[in-house]
Structure 1
Amino acid sequence: MNQQRIPHQREVIDRRALADDIAGLVAAKGAGARPEIVAALKAALEAGRAELDRRLEEKPSAGHEITGGHSFLIDQIVRTIHDHVIADVYPAINRSTAERLTLVAVGGYGRAEMAPHSDVDIAFIHPTRQAQWCEQVIEAMLYYLWDLGLKVGHSSRSVDDTIRMAKSDLTIRTALLEGRYIWGDQDLYDEVSRRFADEVVKGTEKQFVTDKLEERNARHKRMGDSRYVVEPNVKDGKGGLRDLQTLYWIGKYIHKVRVAADLVEVGLFTAAEYRSFRRAEGFMLAVRCHLHTITGRAEDRLTFDLQRAVAARMNFADRPGKSAVERFMQFYFLQAKRVGALTGVFLAHIDEQFARSRARKGLLASFTPRARELKGYRVYGGRIAAPGDDWFAKDPVRLIEVFQLAEANGLEVHPETMRQASRDSGLIRGAVRDDPRANALFLDLLAGRNDPETVLRWMNEAGVFGRFVPDFGRVNAQMQFDMYHHYTVDEHTIRAIGLLSRIEKGELTADHPRSARLIHEVASRRVAYVAALLHDIAKGRGGDHSVLGGDVAEELCPRFGLDEGETALVAWLVRQHLLMSRTAFKRDLTDPKTIEDFVSEVQGLERLRHLMILTAIDIRAVGPGTWNSWKGQLLGELYDSAEERLRLGHMSHGRKERVAAKKEAVREKLGDKAGLLKLYGDRFDDSYWIAEAEDIAALNLVHYGLSHEEQGNLSVHCEVYPSRGATLVTVIAADHPGLFYRIAGGIHLAGGNIIDARIHTTRTGWAVDNFLVQDPHGRPFAEAAQLERLKASIADALANRTALVPQLAKRPLPHSRAKAFDVRPVVSFDNQASGRFTVIEVNARDRAALLNRLARALFENRLVVHSAHITNYGERAADTFYVTDLTGGKVTGSARLKAIELALLAAASDERQAELENA
């Protein structure tokens, strides 16, 4: 970046005027002028920053100008301080050759890309180690810079030490690579630059590239290894500024270019690609400046709360179906995607250059590996390449074909061919989209047997995917502004297709045993892959994406070559792709009505098989940790019950037979303690035996007996259940009103999250309540100390030894970032979902002890909770309660339901939280 590009420089800072002011202060006060000098420098710095902030507000996307402006401002401050120190603080009239000093800007400062709160990285270089005057000047300058509140990264080295350390330390070598002369002895700077090129760079180019790419890969892994994580790091994340800088470093190191524009001259980028490079870099630099300005610190992560603020500052507005923040983030991810495409082309070119230089040496200097032909393409070195520059122009269907051949034959697409495909993607118009051959090739790729995920990602990077399937292009780089989804819609979709492929190949059988079996039983595997592609295709259109997506499927499937039956099945799957997870996670699977309602919607085994597979991959593709054994178990239970009902036309056993079978299974589990079943079994009614699994029922009987015989009135038992991904907490106590909300409060105070709860009362008036509990990270409570804390906290809550309300209000919400989202609580009632109970669902912002507060509101409204099912979607919680009134009947009457709704809304609201925190 040349300083001349900063318009109206003196409006940012007038160095000569500042130097004159300092000279006047020195003349008037001598050594005592230091405080006034610091004040003058600080005033100039603050005025310059204010001017640059004003310019950023005026031109919110002017990343290069603003970062260059901040670098220019610091340059002038540093030069002024340097001149003052050597003239007035440590003047040396007849300096020796050792008493020379050059100031070199390194890092982002060296590139002249400084955000408002970036570090000021300076290398002070002098001729020899023993140079007292140099050290005095450096120390005096640093004290001035520190007094200005600048965060200075500095080094002070001789020329020899600088060169020696650059040879052994990659960080120092990179810093020097982008070193920029600021001030001081120009000859000394020239000497360091010459020796760096001759003694450090020469002959180490390949090693530098290898080291830099390893460094980049480690950084990506640390940051989430995707360009599409929804809270990206603008500086260090994949597709961010550091990736662009890495390209520049490598190009500069190998080709000795001075500025990024020179990469075009050496053939690493075309002029159009370089313009993309600059656009992406300018946008990201601007975003980084806004982040620093908003937070008042060096903040590089686009967190949810900052995304809204940056979108507003950069003048993004709401549009139908898409908020301003979603439009801003989509634009951000498109830039990150472009960076990824540029990186791929650039590194492949570098790789080829090294390969050619290797081939020119030694015995094989004249040998060129012979390419084989594959349908007109050239294949060599594991890559498929177009045979000529006009290959795609002659037949645009080849833009689909090249990727299909790559997937089918396990090949990479040659970088030059990727570049051509990206350039020629605009050739894909209506005639190509409707071409039966093009669609057959696309379907073969989508349902490929090798690695469709990777090749579809390449196709997306090249811009071909979105051109061929414009509906997919609409969700390209589209984020979903919530804490549940980890990736953009296109990345989530491609990951889902990859998971389906891995399940089909048997790689995920341990986690998805049913899906791994079912994918080989379905009538059309193509349906599974097309449904995976289309399930979220209509997101961001301002309506129910499932319904709208079904309409898209009805248009696209015939085009892809699916028959009428396959099209109808895909459309149904897209419309109902959330049905199975909603039923499994929000409904009581032991209630026969739940299964009947689910089966009446599914209507057939083929639909059920496909829905199971699609549900599993959809959840898992959301992001790390969203799939767990508990979700797998619930979906498995629902599938098995529905499959039995569909296969036999009825449940295989009536209620009486099911209770008898469950008791028999529990008797076997109890072994030599089977007498407990005879002693206590009749105290539990039929609903208990249907609801609880045999292993849990066996445990309950053991603890029920102990609570009566040895432990008085209370038994709290904790059992780690790895298969359920949670800890089972069983509480047995004399039943009384409010027991459920008190237990929930005790569990919350111990740091537990309740994911499922079943509440039972025996015929003799005892409560037997089973809770599945996880820690804040979604894992079981497993350590002895954790389990003891859990037991003690529940006991204290039930004995009223703990003031639950104020204690719970003090607990911080695990996801404090949830405050960035506007989640309005919603309460719904359903008297049709169960034969015996009223089902109440509350959707609200997740927060500390939400379940406890909702349960208390139900208690205060004289309702009995029989089971509770808790689901979290990032910042949003969905809690479902199966309740009756005190007489055991359903809750009816509009006035009664309205009163309950208002109580639950108050319990779930932010205002209620504020009241509790102030209590």
Structure 2
Amino acid sequence: MTDWTIPSRRVPRQRAIIDRRALSGAIATLAREQGEAARPAVLAVLQEALEKGRTELESRLEEKPSAGHAITLGYAFLTDQLIRVIHDYVTEHLLPASNRTAAERLAIVAVGGYGRAEMAPHSDVDIAFITPMKRSPWCEQAIEAMLYLLWDLGLKVGHSSRTIGDTMQLAKDDLTICTSLLEGRLIWGDQPVYDELRARFWSEVVRGNERQFLARKLDERNARHKRMGDSRYVVEPNVKDGKGGLRDLQTLYWIGKYMHRVQSAAELVDVGLLTRTEYKGFRRAEGFLLAVRCHMHILTRRAEDRLTFDLQRQVAERMNFADRPGKSAVERFMQFYFLQAKRVGSLTGVFLAHLEEEASRSKVRRGFFAGWSARPRNLRGYVVESGRIKAPGDNWFTDDPVRLIEMFQLAEAEGLEIHPETMRQADRDARAIDGSVRRDKRANALFLDLLAGRNDPETALRWMNEAGVFGRFVPDFGRVNAQMQFDMYHHYTVDEHTIRAIGLLSQIERGLLEDDHPRATKQIHRVGSRRALFVAVLLHDIAKGRGGDHSVLGAQVAKRLCPRFGLDAKETELVQWLVLQHLLMSSTAQKRDLTDPKTIEDFVAEVKTLDRLRNLAILTAVDIRAVGPGTWNSWKGQLLGELYDAAQERLRLGHKRTGRAARVKARKAAVSEILGGSDAGRASLVEDLSGNLADAYWIAEPEDIIAENLTLYDEARRSGARLSLRCLVDEERGATLVSVIAADHPGLFYRIAGGIHLAGGNIIDARIHTTRDGYAIDNFLVQDLNEEPMREDSQIERLERHIDEALFGEAELVPRLAARPLSHARAKAFAVAPRVNFDNLASNHFTVVEVSARDRPALLNRLAHALFKASLIVQSAHVTAYGEMASDTFYVTDLTGGKITAPERLAEIEAALLSAASDKRQRESEDA
């Protein structure tokens, strides 16, 4: 029997990993001395060899943390040797057969990733036991004995045992089996059986089915991408199956091998599917991704392929990434990861486009159109054929590098794709873009036309980014290329987020998102300069990762870049302001009380003009929505709409605004109309009850909520019930309105909040009012953990029960709340230092307290309890979540109704809130 090694690749210092001859000798000795009773001792020797090999490979990975190819090859070699030793032990000592019949021939074939000799530490051992004909009893016993030894070693074995004929039939019908056989490699056993398997596979399965395999493989790839988020820039990528991951590289190899019979990735160069430079990029990306996967398996001690936040820190450390000014080690590691994923994407696009072109050339036309093909046309010197734009020569871009911008602009304007060969040229020649090209007026005009294109600028800009042209032409954008933000709020890298935001802006302009963004769809056609708005979206996050306030630094970048792009002084000033203040509207809407006139006054004082307001509102909408799926919801839309309408009215009227008394009168009339419209008998409630409600209540609450409150308040007074509670699904606000009427007493707010948290609800907004006859009217907007209203009857029942128990039950709230699991278990990976800010200028009547901390169960309840213990009265609360971080804002007064201004008092409150917001209590609960 020939001693097969892994083809064309030798493992260095093999005996340090496993010495097969020594191991076989030790096992043979045990078998001779103990016979069949030797099995436990044999297993122990095998286990020791396995652990020794794994330890050696782990130490090699520590020495060379990026040696992905060498380590995965090493694990395949270790597995090979163990299987060979096990095979020999079974066939020579347990089931010896001196003269095997034709039916007792057996080949052990590595398939899938193992067949490719790429194994991470805890990869499955995928093997096929192949016999030439129906298995004999001896073969069945031998296979079973080998499998039991492999299982007893703790290996996860994926196995099949078939005849050659059965294997061929299954490979024709099953794409997975066909793909795994494509990489079949003989580990040990009968060479002629393996040779026959390979010959029949290529002749019976592959030949004539190349196009079908390609189509099925691409369908499989697209379905996998969809499952994994359909972006290579998701912040917790799947290294194996995600877009831009190892499976995409392997798919290229499978297709190339199937279509062109290549035996290694290097041969893809020989058949013209990759250039030598692209192949080097292939190997570099593959080696890095394999190394990352090995580190993940070692850290978790299992086959873990999702690069989660907690693993990102650990892998970055193991791979020797270090902190740099403005960018942490983990962010640098992930940026490098996404650059490799981007390279995989570029290779995939060029590779598949080549195959598609090959296929189109080989198609035979029949019928009326036989012999006919569309003539190429000329477009500014480019060749346009079959909907693709193509450079006419190899030196096209180096002769005039401005064409690198022009090509993408033409593709966007004309609705064309870019020929793969031309994309390859652009990628190769992008380095021709230097300072003179960046200063070229024509190049900048073309770029601005592309950025603000009327068709689909998002796709063209993404192509431009994939080719490396975008970052070359706008180096500031190149700095954020593939840069992730290490938090749970942002779903994409900065460049991907920006390109998506530009795409959303284009969709709003074309009226495609009118249902979600009716104001933006209307107002975008009224902005003073649409191109300034597109530039502002491009630049709003351009300065992230520079170690300072990215809004301030970004405004400086805008001041420098806008004139270069061709914007005039007025447009440049607008873009600067938009970049500087791009977070102002979302922060105001989500963290401030929009019924407080001072909130609107302060916001308008910064905005100053209607044109700025329109631009900022649209930028805010696309910025939030481009963060990731689910970040935009109806509640955020409602808040931003309220702020927009209030600010627009204030800007139109100037200093003229309706007086407080007139506003209260108008609100009462509107509520009377609502109540009278539903029930004539209820119309008098406004007059009957308004004497018990302060003007602040009528100003603070929306008309529809006041109407609900008055009905509930009247029922409470008439019945004398200790608690009146109503839960209504409010689709417009994207939440469930929980209205509570109860006798007012200290601590009511934090207890209700605790009950809502126990019921599984998240409070996103709360307003607290006290009537003159001693009732509290508290309104909460509540969502479930998926940021949806709590709609189900069981959810409503749970809310009502837990609020009642929180207010009147004897059980302690704090221990029950602390025992609840984190709403985001992944938040444990982040250290968020709690912060407390006081603002006595944001409101004329209240001190505004903002607390930022790691999001966890009942944070609002704890903070409200700390405010209660500090003898403060909460007027309203506003809750905003940013992934792992929550920001809770309270409008408070002291017991006399005044602001808190004394420094020592503020320091005392800050200490209490920091203690309530700290992770210590949560960690103690988790440990318990």
Question: Which residue is equivalent to 2:568?
Answer: 563
Deviation at 1:31, TM superposition (A): 1.0
Q: CA deviation at 1:892?
A: 1.6
Deviation at 1:28, TM superposition (A): 1.1
Letter in 2 for 1:16: R
Question: How far does residue 367 in structure 1 lie from its aligned partner after superposition?
Answer: 4.4
Supply the distance in 1 between the matched residues of 2:810 and 2:198 (Cα, whole angstroms): 73
Q: Is the 8 A contact 1:806 1:917 kept in 2?
A: no
Question: 1:484 is matched with which residue?
Answer: 489
Q: Which one of the candidate residues 744, 752, 755 is aligned to 1:746?
A: 755
Q: Indicate conservation of the 8 Å contact 1:743/1:798, yes or no.
A: yes
CA deviations over 1:184-220 (Å, ceiling 9, x no partner): 0011001010000000001111111111111111111
Which amino acid letter does the alignment assign opposite residue 872 of structure 2?
L
Aligned mates of 2:656, 2:597 — CA distance in 1: 9
Change (3 A) 1:365 1:96: farther
Q: Is the 8 A contact 1:393 1:424 kept in 2?
A: yes
C-alpha displacement of 1:360: 7.4
Return the match for 2:356 from 334, 351, 362. Answer: 351
Q: Which residue of 2 aligns with 1:720?
A: 729
- TM-superposed CA distance for 1:917, in Å, is 6.3
Range with greater deviation from structure 2 (710-719 or 908-917):
908-917
Q: Distance between the aligned counterparts of 1:491 and 1:820, measured in 2?
A: 24
Is the contact between residue 63 and residue 287 of structure 1 (CA under 8 Å) also seen in structure 2? yes
Partner of 1:701: 710
The 1:916/1:681 distance shift into structure 2, 3 A limit, reads: farther
Aligned equivalents of 1:180 and 1:913: distance in 2?
52
Contact 2:104 2:135 in 1 (8 A): no
- Are 1:634 and 2:635 an aligned pair? no
Among residues 415, 422, 446, which one is paired with 2:427 in the alignment?
422
Is 1:891 matched up with 2:908? Answer: no
> Once the 2 structures are TM-superposed, how far is the Cα of residue 4 of structure 1 from its aligned partner?
3.9
- Partner SS for 2:105: coil
Letter in 2 for 1:750: A
Q: CA deviation at 1:513?
A: 0.9
Question: How far, CA to CA, are the matches of 2:368 and 2:200 in structure 1?
Answer: 34
In the alignment, which of 675, 678, 689 is matched to residue 687 of structure 2?
A: 678
The one of 752, 765, 787 aligned to 1:756: 765
Looking at structure 2, the residues matched to 195 and 3 of structure 1 have their Cα atoms a distance apart, in angstroms, of: 23
**Which residue does 2:22 correspond to in 1?**
17
Give 1:679 deviation, angstroms.
Answer: 1.2
Residue 451 of structure 1: aligned partner: 456
**Counterpart selection for 1:221 from 216, 220, 226:** 226
Cα separation, 1, equivalents of 2:178 and 2:375? 39
Alignment check: 8 A CA contact 1:359 1:367 kept: no
2:914 counterpart letter in structure 1: L
Paired with 2:927 and 2:390, the residues of 1 have a C-alpha distance of 68
1:558-707 equivalences in 2 (<5 Å): 558-650=563-655, 652-671=657-676, 672=680, 673-707=682-716
Q: Provide the rounded CA distance (Å) in 2 between the counterparts of 1:368 and 1:257.
A: 32
Shift, 1:363, TM fit: 8.0
Tell me if 1:134 matches 2:139.
yes
2:816 equivalent in structure 1 = 807
Q: 1:770 aligns with which of 774, 779, 784?
A: 779
Shift of 1:678: 1.5
State the distance in 2 between where 1:3 and 1:29 align.
Answer: 39
Aligned position for 2:911: 902
Alpha-carbon distance between aligned partners in 2 of 1:3 and 1:368, rounded to the nearest angstrom: 45
Q: CA deviation at 1:352?
A: 0.7
- 1:821 equivalent to 2:830? Answer yes
CA distance, structure 1, for counterparts of residue 56 and residue 370 of structure 2: 59
1:206 equivalenced with 2:211 (yes/no): yes
76, 80, 83: which one aligns with 1:78 = 83
User: What secondary structure sits across from 1:125 in the alignment?
Assistant: strand
Provide the residue aligned with 1:852 in structure 2: 861
Deviation of residue 369 (structure 1)? 3.2
CA distance in 1: counterparts of 2:21 and 2:593, whole angstroms = 78
Deviation at residue 2 of structure 1 after TM alignment:
3.5
Counterpart mapping for 1:149-548 below 5 A: 149-359=154-364, 367-548=372-553
- The answer for the alignment partner of 1:872 in structure 2 is 881
Q: 1:711, CA displacement in angstroms? A: 5.5
SS of 1:520's equivalent in the other structure is helix
Whether the 8 Å contact between 2:551 and 2:581 is mirrored in structure 1 is yes
Q: Which amino acid aligns with 2:477?
A: F
Cα deviation, residue 129, structure 1: 1.9
Number of residue equivalences? 919
- 2:3 corresponds in structure 1 to none
- Cα offsets for 1:250-277 (capped at 9, x unmatched): 0000001111111000000000000000
Work out the CA distance in 2 between the residues paired with 1:917 and 1:902. 24
Shift of 1:98: 1.1
1:113 deviation in Å? 0.5
Give 2:741's aligned residue: 732
Question: Which letter maps to 2:619?
Answer: L
What is the identity percentage for the equivalent residue pairs of Structure 1 and Structure 2? 71
CA contact (8 A) 1:5 1:65 kept: no
Question: Following TM superposition, by how much is the alpha carbon of 1:785 offset from its aligned partner in structure 2, in angstroms?
Answer: 1.3
Deviations 1:590-611 (A, max 9, x none): 1111111111111111111100
Letter in structure 2 aligned against 1:17 = A
Any idea what SS the aligned residue of 2:363 has?
helix
- In structure 2, runs of 5+ residues without a counterpart are 1-5
Tell me the distance in 2 between the aligned counterparts of 1:652 and 1:636. 19
Cα distance in 1 for partners of 2:824, 2:918 equals 16
1:115 to 108, 120, 123: 120
C-alpha offsets along residues 858-916 of structure 1, whole Å, 9 cap, x if unaligned? 00000000000000000000000000000101112111110100000000001133456
| Paired residue secondary structure (1:625) | coil
Output the TM-score relative to the length of structure 2.
Answer: 0.98
Letter in 1 for 2:71: I
Where 1:458 maps in the other structure, the secondary structure is helix
Distance in 1 (CA, whole Å) between partners of 2:630 and 2:863 is 27
Letter in 2 for 1:834: S
Separation of aligned partners in 2, 1:159 and 1:110:
17
Q: How does 1:835-850 map to 2 (within 5 A)?
A: 835-850=844-859
Alpha-carbon distance in 2 for matches of 1:884, 1:655: 21
Gaps of 5+ in 1: none
- Offset from partner CA, 1:416-457 (integer Å, 9 cap, x none): 100000000000000000000000000000000000000100
Tell whether the 8 Å contact from 1:862 to 1:886 is kept in structure 2 after alignment.
yes
Tell me the alpha carbon deviations over residues 786-844 of structure 1, each in whole angstroms, 9 at most, x when there is no partner.
Answer: 10110110011000343201110110011011111110000010111000000000000
| Stretch of structure 1 that moved more, 703-712 or 290-299 | 703-712
CA distance in 2, matches of 1:834, 1:2: 75
Q: Structure 1: which amino acid aligns with 2:790? A: F
Q: Please give the secondary structure, in 1, of the residue aligned with 2:274.
A: coil
Report the alpha carbon displacement of residue 710 of structure 1 after superposing the two structures with TM. 2.6
Q: For the Cα contact (< 8 Å) 1:644–1:651, is it kept in 2?
A: no
Partner of 1:102: 107
Q: CA RMSD, aligned part only?
A: 1.1
- Counterpart contact for 1:805–1:916, Cα < 8 Å: no
- Residue 476 of structure 1 aligns to a residue whose secondary structure is coil
Distance in 2, matches of 1:634 and 1:801, equals 38
Q: In structure 2, how many angstroms separate the alpha carbons of the residues matched to 1:802 and 1:225?
A: 47
Q: Which residue of 2 aligns with 1:795?
A: 804
Q: Partner of 2:46 in structure 1?
A: 41
